Amino acid sequence: MTPPDLPSPAPDPCVINSAVYADGVRVAEVGIDDLQASLGDPGRFVWLGLFEPDADLLRNVQKQFHLHDLAVEDAFNAHQRPKLELYQDTLFVVLRTAQLVGADLGIEFGETHVFVGRNFIVSVRHGSMKSHVALRTRCESMPHLLSKGPGFVLYALLDFVVDQYFPIVDQMEEQLESLEEEIFGDHFSRDTTGRIYRLKRDLLAMKRAVSPLVDVCNRLMRFDSQLIPEDTRPYYRDVYDHTIRINEMIDTTRELLTTALEANLSLISVAQNEATKRLAAWAAIIAVPTAVAGIYGMNFRHMPELSWQYGYPFSLVVMVGACAGLYFGFKRTGWL
């Protein structure tokens, strides 16, 4: 009797993709335990993609690719700033991914840690899995560029991450324009101040992701290592230019937002001063009849004009006339 076929083990959900490439074409899918055997073939390289791997999986990958302990620790713990480090013959690059999510278009940040060797590249993602959708497909559609090896894949990752920043910064600029219309328009509201602070906080978070990336791209563009082929340097220069552009856009938006905040606070002070002046003007107007009525309400027996026949209408005329005079005076000076 033939024994029943045993089910194959379920794939590790932390392994997004693991493939071998030769001359820019995917030639095989390899398991984690077979990576070392694939590295021995000349002219080939392995591209391994991981998503929030556990310690055992990272330790296995470290053993096969001879990765440095400090770099592996950073990749496991995440929460790193963008940086570039060289450990013997392996590059370690940290990138911050960002994308707009939800109906309110909030910013969701993630991290991508990249290990680049002579014949391998390992990407470790933290955060949303949507941040790298279609990247591998786009690279595989350009075999003449993918044949340049892991150096081109690292460029593709950098370019993909940087391109995600543009719609976010554009959205922030649109929010700034909307805030400016509210500040200087007829629909002035103190809630605008809260929106300005939230936008400043998002801009600061974007600044922390983009600013260190300028130095990373600059070093990769000038890096003297065989890990970055000479014919890929122009591609890194293009990413560097894009990073500089985004960084300048963020700085410009932050400066305009600071000016908008100062203008908003100034307009709030002006509105408060206008309200104070109106209250003071009405208080002065009301003080006149109050003073006259208070004097004649003191109930003294011997007071002038108490026995005068026209004393009551005269006092009313004086109060109305004084109030009218004060009203038109304040109106002319802009207090009312």
- Per-residue model confidence as pLDDT tens digits over 53-72: 989 999 999 988 889 999 99
Single pTM value for the model: 0.76
Q: What is the pLDDT of residue 38?
A: 75
Q: What is the pLDDT of residue 5?
A: 42
Q: What is the pLDDT of residue 8?
A: 38
CATH T-level topology, domain 273-333: Methane Monooxygenase Hydroxylase; Chain G, domain 1 (1.20.58)
The ranges of the chain with pLDDT < 50 are: 1-10
Cα separations in angstroms, 305 against 287, 297, 299, 319? 21, 13, 13, 16
Q: What is the pLDDT of residue 89?
A: 85
Q: What is the pLDDT of residue 331?
A: 76
Give the phi and the psi of residue 22 in degrees, each rounded to 5.
Answer: -135, 125
Domain extent listing, the chain: 15-267, 273-333
Under 8 Å CB-to-CB from 109, ≥6 apart: which residues? 96, 97, 98, 127, 205, 209
Sheet holding 15-22, edge to edge: 25-29, 15-22, 44-51, 120-126, 106-116, 90-101, 83-87
* Whole-angstrom distance, CA of residue 246 vs CA of residue 244: 6
CATH T-level topology, domain 15-267: Beta Polymerase; domain 2 (3.30.460)
